[in-house]
Structure 1
Amino acid sequence: MKGLDMAGQQAPGPVLAEGTERLRAAGLDNPRREARLLMAHVLQTDLAGLLARQNVDMSASRAFFDAIDRRAAHEPIAYITGHAGFWSLDLETSSTTLIPRPDSETLIEALLHHRRDRASVRSVLDLGTGTGCLLLAALSEYGDAWGVGVDIAPGAARLAARNARRTGLATRCAVMNANWTSAIQGRFDVIFSNPPYIPHGDLAGLMPDVRDHEPARALDGGVDGLDAYRVLTEALPSLLAHDGIAIFEIGIGQERDMPRLARQAGLEILEIRADLGGIPRAVLMQHGRR
């Protein structure tokens, strides 16, 4: 390895430059930024600390290039580092479930807009909880609330439980490994779901970061992408409190289908809220007026 001194130390600049070039050759966007993030992860520092770093030893260099090779194969950075930010939380990630995305924060923003009184939310249900990001973000904002997260994947349920402990919210929630609504009784003030919603025929065209690394069962929404919504909207009337609100994440174009499914289940649409990119992302539902 070029630039090594007698003690096996090397200045970080050349190491970072080589990592950047490998990512650029793999066709990744922002190769220098991603290389810096991976080096900061390996050195257990932040980007500011990285600037002050004087040298990198041989062990750290090997770990860095191992991480670079994984990223060059389009493995998401959040799987390499093992964590990702969501809302105000830092959450553990794993390939058992999807990586929390900024677009999903739209659901938390919608909840805060429609339930400004923090005492108005006492119970939260998250169907297909994954990392637990929606459930835990809601509990972090509503200090009097308790919640339940449900996921059919055992690994995802265990991950959400670890994140509840990681965020200090474990005493206010429970995580269940079950098939969405089959093990749930009672009514909830808020119900979240970010279910699989990609039409099956579109999976092959997804970015390789998603297609090749994130779990297909958390992406595949059936032929038209609506399979999960059909099940969930039918279940909502028996799970939603009288004045409760359900907030579902949707994919591109699905804002045309969700109102129809909601009406069929006796629900009405309260709002369809766009994410920061202007794409309709959060559908808010409540019991229909009688």
Structure 2
Amino acid sequence: MNRGNERLISLLQQPGSDVQVRIANSIWSRKGKPFHSDFTKANQAFYDAKITELDFNSPNAPDTINDWVNKNTNGKIPRMIESIDPMEVLILMNAVYFNGGWKKEFQPSATKEESFKLQDGSTKQVQMMTQSGSYEYLQEEEFQAIRLPYGEGQMDMLVILPDESSSLDALHDKLWEDPNRWHESFQSNRGEIKLPRLKIEYSEKLKEPLKAMGMTLPFDEVHADFSGMAPVPPNLFISAVTHKTFIEVNEKGTEAAAVTSVHMAGASAPIDEPFQVTINRPFFFAIEDRQTDAWLFVGSVVEP
């Protein structure tokens, strides 16, 4: 598994011209708390992780970690943590930064103010970008899907728009029934795409959602087993998981960053007519690598 991740990280960071992908990992341990050398060496060897022993009691400790986050997200996520709990002995950080120019840029002169329908039925005026061309496109009864390539085409943005008679929730159910189908190529067709400019920041505590999904044992103070990481006692368990994301989509391309921290304590039929996709209601998107089928970022936009 370690070697597989090492290969994946290497491939993702070779996205072709006009696209930048940076994946960074770091481990911050409380000064004086020993961890197994096999654990730290594996993280350095396979994940290129920065390993640092840090005085968690120092008032400057959060700033030291936040400086690393800020640097590795190109300033898009300047702060990740405000304080360190006295019981915490290890903080793991994972940062992903993406900056991709569209293979075909949108012309700013074609961007116009249009209405975007929100989930409560009201509308909001947004700056809607427009372009025409040939794209991978898929249309089925309940949705339209299109791929907008970055750079040389190795990476793209997949956009899936539910039909007006459907909903984002229904799309999610269909999406996760068989995620593999979304990695297949769509047929190339000519048409027009209208996409709103986006600038979104998202932050969430993930402990309770992860537990609800069935990941309960790692959070259990008594039964969690991380003895492969450090001598016991004390018994290690995950005390918090935090995720932050920033994404901006404009006429030139997409810039995105995400950081996750883990705190540990003691085929359709051909389409002859040109299509039109107008993203003027809640939709799903993914920034994907076609070489590995990996999704670097996924999200649903309910209000641009």
TM range (shorter): under 0.3
TM-score by length of structure 1 reads: 0.26
RCO higher in structure (CA 8 A, sep ≥6): 2
Structure in which a larger fraction of residues adopt strand: 2
Structure with more of its chain in helix, by fraction: 1
